[in-house]
Amino acid sequence: MRSMFVQVPMMSGPAGVRRVEVSVPLVPQLLDQGKYYMEPKRIDDETEKRRHRHRGPTLRSLVKLARQCDSAEQLGEQLRRRYQRQRQRAGLAPAGRGGAEAELDRLLAQD
């Protein structure tokens, strides 16, 4: 039996939608509409890029980190370090401390 293909949206999580390709029985009259096609298409690479986007930390990892820290200041510092490491790995932030943070630390050390 011959078939045709169509791309349809599918839920991929609590708020995510991705497009999947579905094979359906051939109805030649529907091929003229442009929505259906005979050969399977490759889904664009943009979908793959979005799939590997960084997500925020899970609540579980934040609770574990909070339990390891003694104070809110220590937790904030740990989160800042973690965020900076992630940005450095992704190539979005230069290695070392940023100019504004270094200046702030210098001013705080003067007091």
Q: What does the pLDDT look like over 20-39, one tens digit per residue?
A: 888 899 988 888 888 888 88
Torsion angle defined by CA atoms of residues 30, 36, 38 and 43, in that order, rounded to the nearest 10 degrees:
180
Q: Is the pLDDT of residue 111 over 70?
A: no
Residue 45 confidence (pLDDT): 56
Q: For tokens 């298409």, what's the residue?
A: 41
Residues 6+ apart with CB under 8 A from 25: 1, 2, 3, 4
Largest CA distance in the chain: 81
One-letter identity of residue 108: L
Q: What is the pLDDT of residues 35-93, one digit of tens each?
A: 888 888 776 655 555 555 666 778 888 899 999 999 999 999 998 888 888 878 877 76
pLDDT-based confidence at residue 19 (cuts at 50, 70, 90): confident
The whole-model pTM stands at: 0.39
Instruction: List b or e across 48-72, with b for residues whose CB sees 16 or more CB atoms inside 10 angstroms.
Output: eeeeeeeeeeeeeeeeeeeeeeeee
